[in-house]
Structure 1
Amino acid sequence: MQLLLDLDSEVPIYQQIRDRVVEAIADGALEPGDSLPSTRQCAVDLAINFHTVNKAYDLLRREGFIRVNRRSGAVVHPDVRGATAGPGAGPDWERRLRTLLAEAVVRGVPDEEVAGCVRATLDGFAAGGGDRG
């Protein structure tokens, strides 16, 4: 698994890691049961502090995307496409979506363009190659 991060972004690195893993699950690059690199290995690969990776993995675990244990390490939750999300997961993603849509409105992006982008992204995930651009 290769994670592309923007170290100059205002988005915290742990959040970027979390987001890239969720996107990889959505587009099929990571399947239920697939292993993720250890926090230390991921940190070495990305040249960042392992505590940052640990924070991202903990967030993914709390949200039900991965399972972490001493024997197998971090793996994509076997029921990731099922109802594994913890309490409040629905309102949280809806809140984040609302913020993104608000940004589009403030920037003057036409509704049709937003809807088209959403449809293309969902179609991309369904086809196993979600548009990350």
Structure 2
Amino acid sequence: MSGRKLLVRVRVWVRVRVRVRRFFCDWASCPWRTFVEHVGGLSERYRRSSLGLKTWLRQVAVELGGRAGERLCRRKQLAAGRTRLPELLDPPTAPERSPRVLGVDEFASREGHTYGTILVDMEAGRVVDVLPDRTSETFAA
């Protein structure tokens, strides 16, 4: 008997059908004509995927980030690009106090075309802010 393994890939599609109530507005100048009841814990407004998938994608964004997360999502056949994954992350919390020692460094995000400035609290070792350019006016503000 040979030592080869048999790899079977199974694709499973799941469709969830939810019945919700649709409400109509009688007010003539209302910009929204219909309203739909939301299901708590399952969906959010303007979202085409479940909250469970959003949570899973958020974990991929935390662990892998942009391009590596995109490759994993492509292998798992999920529609999440390298720009969508970081958007799912929550912004960092602001520190309670102002930093005593502030580190300032400039960086190029695209091979010398787009420059930015990063501000780091040197004592705590955490990023305070990322500025969109490297001008002194932006830094002073």
TM-score normalised by L of structure 1: 0.23
Determine which structure has the larger strand proportion and give its number: 2
Pick the structure with more helix per residue. 1
Larger Rg: 2
